[in-house]
C-alpha cells in the first residue's frame, strides 16, 4: 500500500493498524447486532443471507475507512474511497468465506460437545 500511494511505511503502517482496530471493533458490534436480529426473526444463514451479512459488514466500514484514510494520508475523499474499493475487492469475498467456514466449524464443535454430554448426569 505504501508503494502504490507514494506514502511512507510509517504512515501506511499506522493507518493499517488503525483500520484493523476499527474493523475488529466493528466486526464484534455488527455480528452481535446481526445475531440478535437472526435470533429474533429465526432466519437461516442461507447464501443470500450470508452475502447480505458480508456486504453489510464491509459496507459499514466504508465510511470509517474513507474518513480516516483521507485525514491520515492527506488525500481527497475520492482517493480514499478508491483505496477502500481496492480493499473491499479483497475483503468482501474473504469476509463471506471466513464467516461460512467459521459457522461450519463452530457447528461441528458444538455438536461434538453435545454428543459428549449424552448420558452424563
Per-residue tens of pLDDT for the chain, all 121 residues: 777 778 899 998 999 999 999 999 999 999 999 999 999 999 988 999 999 998 899 889 898 889 999 999 999 999 999 988 988 888 889 988 998 999 999 999 999 888 766 555 4
Taking the model in full, what pTM does it have? Answer: 0.68
> Domain for residue 113, yes or no?
no
Residue 37 domain-assigned (yes or no): yes
Residue 117 within any structural domain of the chain: no
Residue 65 CA to residue 87 CA, distance in Å, equals 10
Domain that holds residue 74: 2-104
Distance of alpha carbon 107 from alpha carbon 109, whole angstroms? 5
Burial class (CB in 10 A: 0-12, 13-18, 19+), 101: exposed
Residue that is written with C-alpha cell 461450519 in the block: 104
pLDDT at 92: 83
pLDDT at 52: 92
**Per-residue model confidence (pLDDT) at position 116:** 66
What pLDDT, on a 0 to 100 scale, did the predictor assign at position 119? 53
- Tell me what pLDDT residue 120 has: 52
Kindly state the cell numbers that stand for 94. Answer: 474473504
Domain presence at residue 121: no
36 found inside a domain? yes
How far apart CA 85 and CA 81 sit, in angstroms, is 6
Q: Cα separation of 92 and 85, whole Å?
A: 10
DSSP 60-78: HHHHHHHHHHHHHHT--HH
Number of domains in the chain: 1
The per-residue pLDDT for 114 is 80
Amino acid at each position: 500500500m505504501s508503494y502504490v500511494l507514494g506514502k511512507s511505511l510509517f504512515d501506511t503502517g499506522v493507518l493499517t493498524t488503525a483500520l484493523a482496530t476499527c474493523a475488529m471493533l466493528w466486526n464484534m458490534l455488527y455480528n452481535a447486532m446481526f445475531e440478535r436480529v437472526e435470533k429474533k426473526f429465526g432466519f437461516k444463514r442461507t447464501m443470500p443471507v450470508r452475502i447480505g451479512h458480508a456486504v453489510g459488514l464491509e459496507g459499514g466500514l466504508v465510511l470509517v475507512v474513507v474518513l480516516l484514510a483521507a485525514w491520515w494520508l492527506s488525500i481527497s475523499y475520492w482517493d480514499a474511497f478508491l483505496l477502500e474499493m481496492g480493499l473491499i475487492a479483497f475483503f468482501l469475498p474473504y469476509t463471506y468465506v471466513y464467516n461460512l467456514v467459521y459457522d461450519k466449524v463452530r457447528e461441528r464443535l458444538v455438536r461434538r460437545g453435545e454428543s459428549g454430554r449424552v448420558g452424563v448426569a
